[in-house]
Structure 1
Amino acid sequence: MKRLQPKATTWVLLMLCLMYFITYVDRVNISTAAGQFKSELGLSNTQLGFIFSAFAYPYVLFQFIGGWVSDRFGAKRTLIACAFIWAVATTLTGFAGGFATLVAARLLLGLGEGATFPASTSAMASWVRKDKRGMAQGITHSSARLGNAVAPMLVLAIMTAFDWRFSFYLLGALSFGWLVLWYVTYTEKPADHPRITADEINSLPPPTVRPVEMPGTWARLYRRLLPVSGVYFCYNWILWLMLDWMPLYFMHSFHLNIKKAVIFTSGVFVAGVFGDLVGGLISDKLLRRTGNLKLARSYLVAFCMTLTGLSLIPVVLIHDPMYSLIFLAAAMFFNEMNIGPMWAIPMDVAYDRSGTASGIMSGTGFTAAIVSPVVAGYLIDRLGNWNVTFLLSIAVMACGVLMTFLMKPEAPFVARLKQAAPSPELPGRDAVFPLVDKN
C-alpha cells in the first residue's frame, strides 16, 4: 500500500493542481453563463466586458500584496484565506440580480484569487527541485487550462439540469471542499510533512532565513522584473480575450447554438492544457542540457509568442468555424507554452522572495485582463466583427516578442543588506544551476 501512496512532494503538487483547476473554473464559468443572464438581465456587450474585467481590478492589486503576504506569513495561511473569499464570491454570483451585483461578485472573486498564484509559487520554491520548476509551473497551469476546457461543458450541464444560478452554488461548494483539504494536508516546511522522505528533503532547496534588507528592495525588484511583466501582459492579452469571449465569438460569428459553441470553446482550451505541459518540459530539458537560462526561458518564450501571433492570421483571413477552431487552438497551444518558463523566472531571479517576485510579474502583467475584455467588447459593439480584435492581438504578440530580449533570467537579484549574512540561495548562476546534462 505504501508504494501506491504519492510522495509528499507529489501530493503538494497535486493539491496545487486542484487549486489551479478550481480557480479557473470559477473565473471563466461566467462566460458560459453569460448567454443566459445577458438576456435575462438585459445587458449589452460593453456591460458584459466590464463584468468580465471586474475580476481583474482587485486581482491585480492583491497579486502584489499577496506575493508579499505569502513570503511573510506562508502559503498555507495565505491560501486558506484566499479560498474562503473566492468560495464565498462564487456562491454569491448565483444571487446576482443585475449589472451592479454581478460586478460586485466578480470584484470579490478577484480579491480572493489575487494572491493564489504568487502564494503557490512561494510554496513551489520550497517544495520543488530547481531543475523541475518549469515543469511544475507547466503542470499546475495545465490544470488551469483543463479547468477552462471543463468549465463550459460543466456549467452548461448544470444550467441544462437547473439554471445558471445553481452552477455558481455548486462550484462555490467545490471551493470550500478544497479549503478543507489544504488545511489538513499542507505543511509550510517540507521537513514537517508526515509523508516526507529523506531523499525528498535532500533534493529540495535548503530553507533560508531572509536577512534584513535596505529600504527600496521592492522597488529595485520591480524594476528588475519590468520586462518580464511586460511580456506577461502580452500573454494575458490573448489569454483573457479567449477566456471571456470564445463562447460568444462562436455563437455570434458562426451562428452556432450554445451547445456547439461550448464544444468549440472547450476544444480551444484543451489545446492550452497540452501547451502548458509541453512548454514546461521543453524549458527544463533545455536548462538541463545547456545550463543556459536565457535559452531555456527568454528565447523559448520569444519563439512561442511568434507562433501565437502567426496562428491568429488565418482566423482573420478565413471565415469558417472549423478553421477558426483549429487556428485558435494552435494560438492557445503556443501561448500556453509560455507559462512554464515565464513562471519559473521569478524563482530563478529571486528564489528567497519568489512570492513577491511572482506577484510583481503577475500583478503587472495581469492588467491585460482588465483592458483586453473591455477593448474587445467595445470593438465588437462598434464594428460588429472580430477581425480588428484579432489584428490588435497579433500586434500585442509582436510587442511581447521584442520584450523577451530584455528579460534576464540568468542574473539573480541580489538585495542590498543591512547585515553581511548573505542568503545561501544568492550565489552565482552556476552554483544555483549545476544542471548541464551531457547525455
Structure 2
Amino acid sequence: MTAQTTPKGAWKITFLLFLFMLVNFADKIVVGLAGAPIMDELKLQPEQFGLLGSSFFLLFSISAIVVGFIVNRVATRWVLLAMAVIWSLAQFPMVGTVSFTTLLICRVILGAGEGPAFSVAAHAVYKWFPDEKRTLPTAILSQGSAFGVILAVPALNWIIVNHSWHYAFGALGVVGLMWVVAWMVMGKEGPLVQTVAMAAADPRVPYFQLLTSRTFIGCCAATFGAYWALSLGLTWFTPFIVKGLGFSQKDAGWISVLPWVFGAVVVLLTGWISQVMLARGFTTRGARGVLGSVPLIVGGVILAALPHVNGAGLQIAFLVIGSGLCGSIYVVCPPMLGEFTPVQQRGAVIAIYGAIYTLAGILAPWVMGSMIQHAAVPLDGYMTGFTINAVVLVVSGLLGLLLLWPNTERARLMALAAQPKFA
C-alpha cells in the first residue's frame, strides 16, 4: 500500500475545528472563572457549587455515545453544526436574573451538546489526514481547549469584573453563533472515507472485541485520570485562587490562564515528539502509549507534593505543572484507537472512549466540593482534593503503561474478526 497524501484544504478544516474546540472550552471554563461571584450571589455552599460543576457532565457521556453512532451514518459537517447551535442557545438564559436551578439545567443542556465535541471533531479531522499524519492535527485540535481558556479568560474575566458574570455567558453565546456562520460557509466533509475496496480489506470487528481490547481499556483508564485533573481545573482552580489563597477576582483571572499555557506547550510538544519518534522507527507503543502515560505519573507525584510546600506562588507552580503534564494523553489516545478500529466504526469507538473517561467530570468537582465543605478550613479541603487527584493520576498512568499496546492490537483484532464464530 502507498501512503495517502493529505488532501487540499485539510489544514483549513483543522483550523475551523480548532476554533470549534476553542469555543467549547470557553463555554466550560466560564462557571469556574465566575465561581466566586456565582457562589456569593446565589449563596451556594461548596457542595452545591461542586454539584453545579458536575451537572455539566450529567448527560455528557450519554450524548457522546449516541452522537458517536450517529456520525457513523450522518456527515460530521451537519452534526458539528447542530452541536454548536445548542451550545450557543444554552448560554443566553444566564444573561438575566437566574436561580440555581435554572443555571443547573442550562449547564446540563450545554453538557449534552458538548459531550461529543472532541470525538466528533477528531473523527471529522481524520477524514482529512492519513494515519501516519494524524498526531499533529490531533494535538492542534486538542489545543483549542487550551487556547479557548487562554484567550477567553482575560476577556470573560474583564466582563465579570467590570459588568457581571451574567454577561460573560451572553458573550459566549454570541461567539458560538459566529462560529456557526463560519462553518456553514467553509465547513466540508473530508474525502478520506471508507470505500468499498477499503471495507473489503477492513472487515467489521464486533464492538465487544473493540471495547474490551487492552488498548481501549488503557486509553479510558489513562484519560480518566487526566480528565479528573481537567474538570477540577475547569470548576475549582479560580475559586481556589480567590477563596483558598486570597487573591482578588481580577488577579485570579490572569493566574487562571497559567495551567492552560503550560498545558498547551506540553500538548504541542507531545504531538511533535510523537511524530518524530514514528518517523525514526519507534513503534506506536513507545511513540504514543509510553509517551502519553509517563507524564501522568510525573504529574501525580508533583501534585502529591503540593500540600507540603509553603507559599502561594510555589503552590500555584506545583498545581500548574502537575495538572498541565496530563495533556499528553489527549494527543496520543485518539490516534491509537484509530490504528486498530475499522473506519466505519471509528466514530462510535472514539465517542464511547470519550463518554467513559469524561465520567471523571461528574465525580471530581463534587468530590472537591465535599472535601472543602467538610474541612476545618477551606484550604485544607482543597489540599485533600488535590491529593486525591494525585492518586488518581498515578494509578491511571500506571494502567496506561501496562495496557497501551496499539502496535499489536490491530493484527490481533483482525485475526479474531476473521474467525468463523464472528461471521
Q: TM-score, normalised by structure 2?
A: 0.89
Letter in 1 for 2:195: T
Letter in 1 for 2:65: F
Match of 1:407 in 2: 404
Moved more, 21-30 or 220-229: 220-229
Asked if the contact 1:79–1:115 (Cα under 8 Å) also holds between the matched residues in 2, the reply is no
Alpha-carbon distance between aligned partners in 1 of 2:324 and 2:339, rounded to the nearest angstrom? 24
Match of 2:206 in 1: 217
For structure 2, list consecutive stretches of 5 or more residues without a partner in the other structure: 1-6
Deviations 1:121-173 (A, max 9, x none): 11122112322212111111112111123333221111233211111111101
**1:336 counterpart (327, 337, 344):** 327
Letter in 1 for 2:333: M
Given the alignment of the two structures, is residue 320 of structure 1 paired with residue 307 of structure 2, yes or no? no
Deviations 1:329-377 (A, max 9, x none): 2123311122211222221221502211211111100000000000000
Superposition map of 1:172-211 within 5 A: 172-190=173-191, 205=192, 207-209=194-196
Per the TM alignment, residue 93 of structure 1 is displaced from its structure 2 partner at its CA by 3.1
Moved more, 310-319 or 393-402: 310-319
Q: How many residues align?
A: 401
Question: Relative to 1, partners in 2 of residues 1:355 and 1:265: Cα closer, same or farther, differing over 3 Å?
Answer: same
Moved more, 60-69 or 208-217: 208-217
Deviations 1:258-306 (A, max 9, x none): 1122221111221111111111111222122124011011111221112
Alpha-carbon distance between aligned partners in 2 of 1:214 and 1:141, rounded to the nearest angstrom? 30
Per the TM alignment, residue 323 of structure 1 is displaced from its structure 2 partner at its CA by 0.8
Deviations 1:229-250 (A, max 9, x none): 1111111111111121011111
SS of match in other structure, 1:63: helix
Alpha-carbon distance between aligned partners in 1 of 2:309 and 2:244, rounded to the nearest angstrom? 12
Asked if the contact 2:36–2:243 (Cα under 8 Å) also holds between the matched residues in 1, the reply is no
Alpha-carbon distance between aligned partners in 2 of 1:111 and 1:101, rounded to the nearest angstrom? 16
Alpha-carbon distance between aligned partners in 2 of 1:156 and 1:143, rounded to the nearest angstrom? 19
Asked if the contact 1:232–1:365 (Cα under 8 Å) also holds between the matched residues in 2, the reply is yes
SS of match in other structure, 1:73: coil
Match of 1:91 in 2: 92
Q: TM-score, normalised by structure 1?
A: 0.86
Deviations 1:176-204 (A, max 9, x none): 111121122122143xxxxxxxxxxxxxx
Given the alignment of the two structures, is residue 245 of structure 1 paired with residue 242 of structure 2, yes or no? no
Question: Relative to 1, partners in 2 of residues 1:346 and 1:273: Cα closer, same or farther, differing over 3 Å?
Answer: same
**1:267 counterpart (255, 258, 261):** 258
Letter in 2 for 1:313: A
Moved more, 49-58 or 216-225: 216-225
Superposition map of 1:273-288 within 5 A: 273-288=264-279
Match of 2:224 in 1: 233
Alpha-carbon distance between aligned partners in 2 of 1:33 and 1:253, rounded to the nearest angstrom? 15
Deviations 1:96-120 (A, max 9, x none): 6222111100011011112221111
Per the TM alignment, residue 63 of structure 1 is displaced from its structure 2 partner at its CA by 1.2
Match of 1:429 in 2: none
Match of 1:297 in 2: 288
Asked if the contact 1:269–1:332 (Cα under 8 Å) also holds between the matched residues in 2, the reply is no
Per the TM alignment, residue 215 of structure 1 is displaced from its structure 2 partner at its CA by 9.9
Match of 1:359 in 2: 351
Alpha-carbon distance between aligned partners in 2 of 1:214 and 1:339, rounded to the nearest angstrom? 27
Asked if the contact 1:268–1:325 (Cα under 8 Å) also holds between the matched residues in 2, the reply is no
Per the TM alignment, residue 75 of structure 1 is displaced from its structure 2 partner at its CA by 0.9
SS of match in other structure, 1:103: helix
Match of 1:347 in 2: 338
**1:396 counterpart (392, 398, 401):** 392
Match of 1:434 in 2: none
Question: Relative to 1, partners in 2 of residues 1:417 and 1:90: Cα closer, same or farther, differing over 3 Å?
Answer: farther
For structure 1, list consecutive stretches of 5 or more residues without a partner in the other structure: 1-5, 191-204, 423-439
Match of 1:54 in 2: 55
Alpha-carbon distance between aligned partners in 2 of 1:120 and 1:23, rounded to the nearest angstrom? 11
